[in-house]
């Protein structure tokens, strides 16, 4: 059970980090949108897409972990 709590915390920290990174990327995109640096904007958008994909993967992992723990509680 302690390992599952550690996994839960790890997932929570990863999700929190990705949310911060997402916000930073959104801010960077909006700040550079007024400049002519289209390459930076494109790279930031690509990374933002990857961050969104990672967040979705962590949400699924967390959901699977919760379901697994729930099944084990009622055995």
Return the exposure string of 7-39: e unless at least 16 CB atoms fall within 10 Å of the residue's CB, then b. eeeeeeebbeebeebbeebeebbeeeeeeeeee
pTM of the predicted model, to two decimals?
0.63
Instruction: Tell me the pLDDT tens digit for each residue of 21-50.
Output: 889 888 888 877 666 678 888 888 899 999
Q: How far apart are CA 15 and CA 61, in angstroms?
A: 11
| Count of structural domains within the chain | 1
Expressed as residue numbers, the domain containing 53 is 2-73
Q: How far apart are CA 37 and CA 17, in angstroms?
A: 26
The two three-digit tokens of residue 70, written as one number? 């729930």
């Amino acid at each position: 059970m302690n390992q599952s709590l550690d996994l839960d915390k790890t997932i929570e920290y990863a999700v929190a980090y990705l949310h911060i990174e997402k916000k930073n990327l959104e801010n960077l995109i909006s700040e550079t949108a007024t400049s002519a640096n289209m390459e930076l904007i494109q790279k930031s958008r690509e990374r933002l897409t990857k961050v969104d994909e990672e967040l979705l993967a962590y949400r699924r992992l967390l959901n699977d972990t919760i379901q697994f723990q729930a099944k084990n509680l009622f055995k």
